[in-house]
Amino acid sequence: MSTLRLGDTAPDFTQESTAGTIRFHQWAGDSWVVLFSHPADFTPVCTTELGKTAALATEFARRKTRPIAVSVDPVDAHQRWVQDINDTQNTTVDFPILADADRKVADLYDMIHPNASTTATVRSVFIIDPQKIIRTTFTYPASTGRNFDEILRVIDSLQLTDRHKVATPVNWKDGDDVIIVPSLQDPAEIARRFPKGFKAVRPYLRITPQPDK
């Protein structure tokens, strides 16, 4: 399968999980989704990542986003691992972990990188919008844990820029100033959309307060 790219439709699948059978598009419904893969169960970095995801349940819910993990181990191993995650990370894992023993999902989403490992998935992340479109991807090596603050930051940016004609600058966080997109040139529309005004650093670089704050 060729590599999935931004703007592609996220492939649908049916797979077993710690929450029973998952029919992906149906399960996702009208939510945003973070689909993220793990090299294997009972590994230290993955344990911290899944614990962090569980701890951020309120933050994901506030963004109408559903996390779902995938590993190539079977369901019974996942269930035993969840007990370890809850115990060592002082949390409760309440999102599904796909049991991808047949590598159906790993192959669909190109999560096996043979030069890194022929059997284990790399740390892939797919941020998928309610229309099932892939909006962001990250790929990390097995040795490096993901930054979930960054994942949430990207979701904030995507949701904001979908609603308003803005882009978010370097190191932007929710509440910071944003950039008016260069394609928006009509003065009346700019005044209507951005009543707080803007600062034109250059004709193409116009800074304005975040419009929904």
Are residues 125 and 34 in contact, defined by beta-carbon separation less than 8 angstroms? yes
Selection from 150, 144, 181 nearest residue 163 by Cα: 181
What is the rounded radius of gyration, in angstroms, for the C-alpha atoms of the chain? Answer: 19
Alpha helices (H) along 56-197? 57-62, 75-89, 104-108, 148-163, 187-193
Which residues are the active-site residues? Answer: 46
CA 49 to chain centre: 13
Phi and psi of 124, rounded to 5°?
-90, 150
The continuous run of DSSP H or E covering 25 comes out as helix 24-28
Selection from 36, 213, 31 nearest residue 131 by Cα: 31
Are residues 45 and 105 in contact, defined by beta-carbon separation less than 8 angstroms? no
For residue 194, what are its two tokens? 């951005």
Alpha helices (H) along 63-103? 75-89
